[in-house]
Each structure stands twice: as structure tokens, then as C-alpha cells.
Amino acid sequence: MRIVAIAAQTLRWSIGEARSRGVGPPTAVPAGRGSSPVGSIGVDGAARGRSERAAVLLEVRSDRGAVGLGEAAPLPGMSLDTLAQAQAALATFARLAPFELAACETHHARASGAAPGAHVGASEIRHRSAPRAAESQIPGEAPRSGSFVATPTGSGLLPFEIVDRDAAQLLVTAPPAARFAIETALCDALAHDRGISLAALLSSFVDRAISAADTSALPPGVPLAAVVDDPVAARRAFAAGIRCFKIKLAAGDPLDRVLAIAAAVPAATLRIDANRTWPRAEVAARLAALAQLPIEYVEEPCRDAHLLLNTTPLACKLALDEGLPQLSRDELVTALRSPDLAAVILKPTLLGGLSAAIELAALARQAGVAAIASHGLEGPIGTAACAELALVLGGAPPAGLAPHAALAGWRIQVEQLAADHIRAAAAPGLGFADLDLAAVVKACGTRIPDEAGPS
């Protein structure tokens, strides 16, 4: 397949008004699906303290008429890269068209006699390296040398190869959010060309050690976890079918709120997210105070939370999230060996795309650690890509992808997001039928016009 045209546009949109009203995603739902009753659940979460989001939207077009979409939306305060860097990288990428996109053979083709190397399994990941794996230039709180973000190796896990040397090298060295947008758009175009979902495309390429699914039997659904801030929201979500709740618990937040939510939904499992705010000296005591509750894990209680692992036993298990991009590969492998690590949270925007998330999921599952797909407060394009990743991974742990505040006001339905689970979309690719860049921009009901424009 030949990519003949690429376009990118920066878009800013307000999330403050939607959050104050407590609304969720748009209500324009395909016939027979029904609107999601959890649209207003957990509208804070990662959106707390934010009034707007910004992203660079990417469109690629093939010589056969396939359109692929991607979204680069660095999350201030969590991402290592910036919007300006994403804009620069995607503008450069757009100028590299046209180029050839060579499809790689699937797992099924290899099983039928395709050449070795046409398919990548979990055991091969450590030995794959991206072409000319120069470290990307990322400002701010830079990743450690050899981290997933600095030297990506997971590009060998994608179902395509970019034949053009400059375009292939840009994918390798692009900042994380831009890499996510490029990978998503190219996979979306290839999936549309084949008439299959993005999840089916990826699942046919990686083996069962990484993916819980294959093209012939994608999972019927992946359960959702929802962010809740109070007992009322928890009861409403529980009635809608949610059985796992994430509660933000910063250092200054009262523990009583967690206790009240736990009492309101005693049959639910809880995930606590401290967003690295707890003083390190208080972590042990704070974990002990939660130990009698049905806690699945505590996310990032403090900075460098990985250093708490493999030391003394902890009262609650931990999960690593926004700290993952900063870890060296050796630090990651060490953390995965800890019996106190319950999960790694996969945000492709932060990690550097679908390939990085799949690579990390494979390493985690080999170590018996849960790999949980989540969002970085993206718009509908990025959120749909995260949902397709969740379908690729499958499994029982609920995904952190319940409708969020950055989707409010959009006139695009992320069809994968049902009331209490992620489902396969009816349309191919990301699940959007006949959608291009211009239509995406027009569908943003809370767009900030003065700040929008070509990247």
C-alpha cells in the first residue's frame, strides 16, 4: 500500500464546561446500542484541574482510498513531550509522503509456512531493535537512558514496515505522542484497506503470549473500571454494571471518602491513584490504612515508586503508570520481578504508541503482572485507539477506559465504549465509518477556534 498524502491539524477544545455539568460523551449512539448510563461517571480523574485539551490530529491517505486517523495529545504534567514537539514531528512526517507501506505477514501466515521473522512473538521482543535506534529528543523530565521512550524497540511488533528510510527513522525518533499518532493512523488505514478492525489487525500479527485474542475470536468484551469521586457516583456506576472503581487519593485528600465509597459498593474492587503525591516517608502507613479494603492496587503512591518494590513487603500491591516512561529497561525488569507489583498501566500517549504498549504488555505478562490499557485524556480518535489496544490484550482486568471528560462535547461516538465494557466496533479500523480529518475537526462541539489551526 502506498501512502500518498498526509495532513495534520492542531485542535484545542474546552473540557471545563462539560466537567462542571457532569456530562459524558455525546449521546449520538448507533441504532440498537443505547446510550451509556455511565457517561457522567468519574468526570474528574485525570481531568481534575484541567479546563482544556489540545492535540495534533493526523490523517493519512493511501493510493487505494483508505483513510487512517491518529491523535497526538501530550498530557501536561504527565507526558515527557510537549504539544509543540508533536506539531513539529507530525509536520515533518507529513512532508515525507508519498512512501510505500509494506504489510507484514500475520501469525496465521507464518503458521502456514511464511518465512521466519514475519511474525513477532513475546520471546523475540527483547532482541528486536528499531532501525538506527537513535534516542529521541524529549524535553523536561527526561527518561533514563535505554527506556521505552528514549530507545523504542517495539516497532517490530507492528503489522507494517515503512519502506522509506526517512519516514521510518522519523517514526523511531518521534516524541511519544507523535509516535502514537503515526502508528495509529497507519494501522487504521491498513485495517480499513482490509475491512477489519484495528484490534483484529494487531491480533493477527502478535502471538497469544501477547494478545488474548486472534482475528477469528476477538473477546466479546473487556470490563471497564470507572473513576468515581463519591458514593453516589459509585452506586450509579455499580447499577450500570461497573465492578471496579478507581479513586483519586492525593496526599491531602481525606481517607474517609475512600471508606465511604467502599461501604457504598461493598462488592466492588477498588484501585487507588495517588498520582505520586504521597510523601515517601508516609507511604507504608498510608498503605496499611487501606489494607483492609478490597484494594486491587495503589497507583504511583510517590515519585520513583518502583524503588519501593523488592524491598520490604507492602500492605497493598502497587501499579506503575506515569512513572513507566522514565524507567530504564533494567529498572523495569527489576520492578516486574516484585511480588508487590500488581499491574502496569498502558497509556500509549505517554509510552510512545501501540508498539511500546504491546511490548510492555508482553514483558508484564511473562512476569505474571497485569497489563491494563488506559487513556491519557485524549479525544475520540486517541480513545478509540486505546480501546482497540484493550481488545487486543483482552483478559479479565478491567481497562481504565470509561468515558471521560475530554470526550464531552464531541459529536463523535466512540462505539467501543459500552456501559460496563469495551466491545468491538462495527466499522473497520478505529471503528469510525467515513470519517476524515475535516469531519473530526467539525465534530468538536467545544472547540476553541482562536487556538486551532494547521500544525
CATH code of the domain in which 125 resides: 3.20.20.120
Count of domains forming the chain = 1
pLDDT on residue 31 = 30
Q: Can you say how many angstroms the Cα of residue 167 is from the centroid of all Cα atoms in its chain?
A: 23
Q: What is the DSSP letter of 105?
A: P
Tens of pLDDT, residue by residue over 385-412, are 999 999 999 878 999 999 999 999 899 9
Q: Is the pLDDT of residue 134 over 80?
A: no
Q: To the nearest whole percent, how much of the chain has pLDDT over 90?
A: 70
Tens of pLDDT, residue by residue over 336-391, are 999 999 999 999 999 999 999 999 999 999 999 999 999 999 999 999 999 999 99
| Strand stretches in 230-303, DSSP E | 244-248, 269-273, 295-299
pTM: 0.86
Long-range contacts of 301-307 (CB under 8 A, 24+ apart): 301/274, 301/276, 302/274, 302/276, 302/277, 302/278, 303/276, 305/276, 306/331, 306/332, 306/334, 306/335
What's the domain range around 238? 1-455
Is pLDDT larger for residue 79 or for residue 135?
79
